[in-house]
Amino acid sequence: MIRAPILHWIRRYDHRYLTDDAVAAVIVTIMLIPQSLAYAMLAGLPPEVGLYASILPLIAYALFGSSMTLAVGPVAVVSLMTAAAVSQVAAPGTPEYLGAAILLSLLSGVVLIGLGIARAGFLANLLSHPVISGFISASAVLIAISQLKHILGVPVSGHDLPAIVLDLWRHLDQTNGPTVVIGVITIGFLFWVRSGLKPVLSRLGLTPKLADIFAKTGPVLAIIVTTGCVAGWQLHEQGVAIVGLIPEGLPIPHLPPLDFTLARELIPAAILISIVGFVESVSVGHTLAARRRQRIEPNQELIGLGAANLASGLGGGFPVTGGFSRSVVNFDAGAQTPLAGVFTAVMIALTALFLTPLFEYLPRAVLAATVIVAVLSLVDFKSIQRVWVFSKSDFTAMMATIAVVLLVGVEAGILAGIAFSIAFLVAKIARPHVAIIGNVPGTQHYRNHLRHTVIQSQSVLAIRFDEMLFFLNSHTLEDAVAELLTETPVLTDLVLQCAAINEIDASGLEALESINLRLESLSIRFHLSEVKGPVMDRLRRAGFEQLLTGQVFLSHHDAMLTLDPSLAPSNQEP
């Protein structure tokens, strides 16, 4: 069922929120306009398409999204994925290319809404954090390097690192001097703005919060200054690439002609873009909601993002999602509700209607610099180091994702990340940890005898199986028991502590039955302890409790004391 959360929050809307939402909208609009133009260029689309993708999606998300402060629009990674997907079916700069991008947005919307109706919000957990971190870091590097063509003023094609670097090298002799000067100075200025402008504004008397917000509007100042320089000195006549005349007005929302053959080709990319966009959006939404003790609903987020992408396609835009930087700015600027997004949409619409002639002499190198500075902040070297120390399997998945993104492309990279994550998960389940456990002296706790000093029975063997008992690992338990029997021949009982077994399937049941029969043939009783309710329900339905040669104990400690009374503290030697 599709709900509209706006019906909930609009009823309790406080008029005092109006000023906060309006102020936040002004600040986000100032930030979003250059980003929209830049990310449209990154997607290989005309700059006005970035504005179109920042109007209707904001309104649609305000109706159906569950986050109070998430700012939806074009983002770097999704823009890169759009370019990679659409360039496979159409030539950049052609009407067919724009049509394919619009269709991709519509398909993403349909996919997201379908997932939302199916309550598939768990997909937010499909990609592990190391894989997402590696994917975003590699994509950021790829995006930054791909934008060097605009900084140098040379023609470059390709969507993977080797192709881009090779093309840059081939055309290096065509570098345009004025373009390089504009691009390099803008990059330096934008990096300085991020760290150096805030202290300056604070010394001028602004509060830390206002200083931080205004420091994030540096790209607007860069656009104003460089556009004025190009127009005043006619630098475009010296080879500086400019945005050019942007059509005034807004497209009439409509459903474009549907090409089902093209749609079939774009569906895989639409699914990947939907998943990546959803995961990025939910992670941002959760972070911001927690800071105000609010919550977001992943299933509703699928509906909200799906509606935003449908609205983007109907309004002539391309795939969108919740952006990290603009959402943080929206939050810090004091936005209280999604109405701030509606105000932002109105202001961007007014910009598209009346202000687009002002961007005619805007250098493309400045937009490229905006993208470069924005995405390089996404490269997380600390995360790579932390994952290396913590988990070698996660590190392998992360590095594989990074390598495939850089060497093959973004779509292949995310698929590789998913494949490696699933492979390592399967490997972990297939090779569970089986431990011999004993009593920690003076307690009722039982731990691995290899890690702790414990008391063990001479006649009762206690083992712990640390995984769900599935077809992937049921043979491991059987093999472990068989090996332990050869090492400890003098036994009367074997107790399997089941506290870590959360699930059991038919193969797991067969493994328990096989162990039970093997032990019975050796005159050894088989017992279970601390079996969880749902697991015990299944065993009872299968009649295993009647076949069991031993007992099922609620407590492992009770099992050991019952089977070997000498373990009781009063019976142990001092």
Q: How far apart are CA 88 and CA 84, in angstroms?
A: 7
Task: Dig out the tokens for 405 from the structure.
Answer: 């993104």
**pLDDT at residue 380, as a whole number:** 84
Range 337-367 burial, b when 16+ CB lie within 10 A, else e:
bbbbbbbbbebbbebbeeebeebebbbbbbb
Under DSSP, is residue 308 helix (H, G, I), strand (E, B) or coil? helix
Using alpha carbons only, what angle is made at residue 183 by residues 182 and 187, rounded to the nearest 5 degrees? 120
**Which residue is listed with tokens 């031993």?**
550
Q: Which stretches of the chain drop beneath a pLDDT of 70?
A: 1, 124, 126, 213, 570-574
**pLDDT at residue 486, as a whole number:** 86
Q: How far apart are CA 12 and CA 499, in angstroms?
A: 46
DSSP string covering 353-394:
HHTGGGGTT-BHHHHHHHHHHHHHTT--HHHHHHHHHH-HHH
Exposed/middle/buried for 77, CB within 10 Å: 0-12, 13-18, 19+?
buried
Terminal alpha carbon distance of the chain: 67
**pLDDT at residue 570, as a whole number:** 62
Using alpha carbons only, what angle is made at residue 462 by residues 458 and 468, rounded to the nearest 5 degrees? 165
Under DSSP, is residue 72 helix (H, G, I), strand (E, B) or coil? strand
Model pTM score: 0.82
Alpha carbon of 282 to those of 5, 287, 464: distances in Å? 16, 8, 37
Contacts of 440 (CB under 8 A, 6+ apart): 446, 447, 452, 453, 454
**pLDDT at residue 252, as a whole number:** 87
Q: How far apart are CA 299 and CA 122, in angstroms?
A: 8
Q: Which domains does the chain have, with CATH numbers?
A: 6-423 (no CATH), 434-571 (3.30.750.24)
